[in-house]
């Protein structure tokens, strides 16, 4: 298991699902953790779980669509740890609906949660990184970037923009020793995903995925630990598919 003692990582959208699993896993590996989310109660539970296991967690309830909210949340972790080593832009608002039903409110909400938060998270990493150490940004893409799935237009658009942001920032920030990568998870039944995909549909999907199973939270936490580790020190601008072969067979 990678040892992240002395490191500090910020995870956006960490109250539930993959963000929660990543925060708990990185704390278990010895890192100090900063977490933020809209869901104040669930966020407090994650912070409690980390600290009661002996970990260090700086928790900030926040809407990560806002620039100052993100800078403040990452800054709070940096103030306690002398800087941050990585920012994981995991927050997302998942709404599936036909294009003709999309309201201005929905569009703003999804852009704010999934795209603006990644821009502000990147700025926060640049501002609060340790000056002489390598640093990492990890964004969240999706298999929807590679194939058209009906009713997912805004979500797909956000994830495609995130994939593009990842490549651009990898080129722009590489000379500053900041690596920028993304993960594209596939079919992990989290609370957000279960809002739109029921158990029966997940069963059907599992039968079509090349590895014939759904994704698990630990598939994603292992991939994140790899991307943050020295073992990935030459991995920059990649989107790592952690999806059992969904993208490969799309
Ligand atoms: N679960 C999957 O199979 C899957 C597949 C592809 C991509 N992804 C991506 O992985 C990431 C995690 O997915 P998940 O399934 O755990 O998602 P989720 O919906 O279960 O959790 C997302 C978290 O983000 C928080 N959030 C939403 N808007 C926010 C905002 N404006 N400010 C702060 N927090 C906000 C939510 O409260 C929630 O805790 C997302 O980026 C998602 O798009 C997941």
What is the predicted pLDDT for the residue at 147? 92
Taking the centre of ligand 1 as the mean of its atom positions, its distance from the CA of residue 130, in whole angstroms, is 27
The DSSP bridge partners found for residue 240 are: 183
What is the predicted pLDDT for the residue at 178? 98
Task: Indicate the CATH number of 8-187+217-242 among 3.40.47.10, 3.40.50.720, 3.40.50.740, 3.90.650.10.
Answer: 3.40.50.720
Distance from C-alpha of 227 to C-alpha of 103, rounded to nearest angstrom: 36
What is the predicted pLDDT for the residue at 2? 67
Distance from C-alpha of 56 to C-alpha of 1, rounded to nearest angstrom: 19
Taking the centre of ligand 1 as the mean of its atom positions, its distance from the CA of residue 174, in whole angstroms, is 27
Domain ranges of the chain: 8-187+217-242
- Active site residue ranges: 155, 159
Taking the centre of ligand 1 as the mean of its atom positions, its distance from the CA of residue 223, in whole angstroms, is 17
Q: Is 239 in the pocket of ligand 1 (CB under 6 A)?
A: no
Dump pLDDT digits (tens) for 150-198.
999 999 999 999 999 999 999 999 999 999 999 999 999 998 888 888 8
Report yes or no on whether pTM surpasses 0.85: yes
Residue numbers of the chain with a pLDDT score lower than 70: 1-2
104, exposed or middle or buried, with CB in 10 Å at 0-12, 13-18, 19+? exposed
The side-by-side arrangement of strands in the sheet containing 57-61 is 57-61, 32-37, 8-12, 86-89, 135-140, 178-185, 239-242
Atom of ligand 1 nearest to the CA of 39: 37
Distance from C-alpha of 16 to C-alpha of 53, rounded to nearest angstrom: 18
Distance from C-alpha of 89 to C-alpha of 47, rounded to nearest angstrom: 18
What is the predicted pLDDT for the residue at 1? 64
């Amino acid at each position: 298991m990678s040892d992240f003692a002395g490191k500090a990582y910020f995870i956006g959208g960490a109250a539930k699902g993959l963000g929660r699993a990543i925060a708990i896993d990185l704390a278990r590996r010895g890192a100090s953790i900063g977490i933020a989310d809209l869901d104040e109660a669930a966020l407090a539970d994650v912070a409690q779980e980390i600290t009661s296991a002996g970990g260090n967690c700086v928790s900030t309830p926040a809407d990560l669509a806002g620039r100052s909210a993100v800078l403040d949340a990452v800054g709070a972790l940096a103030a306690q740890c002398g800087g941050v080593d990585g920012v994981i832009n995991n927050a997302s608002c998942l709404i599936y609906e036909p294009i003709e039903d999309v309201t201005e409110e929905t569009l703003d909400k999804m852009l704010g949660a999934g795209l603006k938060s990644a821009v502000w998270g990147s700025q926060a990493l640049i501002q609060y990184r340790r000056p002489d150490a390598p640093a990492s940004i990890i964004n969240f893409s999706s298999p929807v970037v590679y194939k058209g799935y009906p009713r997912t237009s805004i979500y797909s658009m956000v994830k495609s923009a995130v994939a593009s942001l990842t490549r651009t920032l990898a080129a722009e920030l590489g000379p500053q020793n900041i690596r920028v990568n993304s993960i594209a998870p596939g079919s992990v039944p989290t609370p957000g995903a279960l809002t739109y995909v029921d158990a029966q549909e997940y069963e059907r999907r599992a039968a079509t995925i090349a590895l014939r199973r759904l994704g698990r939270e630990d598939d994603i936490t292992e991939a994140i630990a790899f991307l943050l580790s020295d073992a990935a020190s030459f991995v920059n601008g990649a989107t790592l598919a952690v999806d059992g072969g969904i993208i490969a067979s799309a």
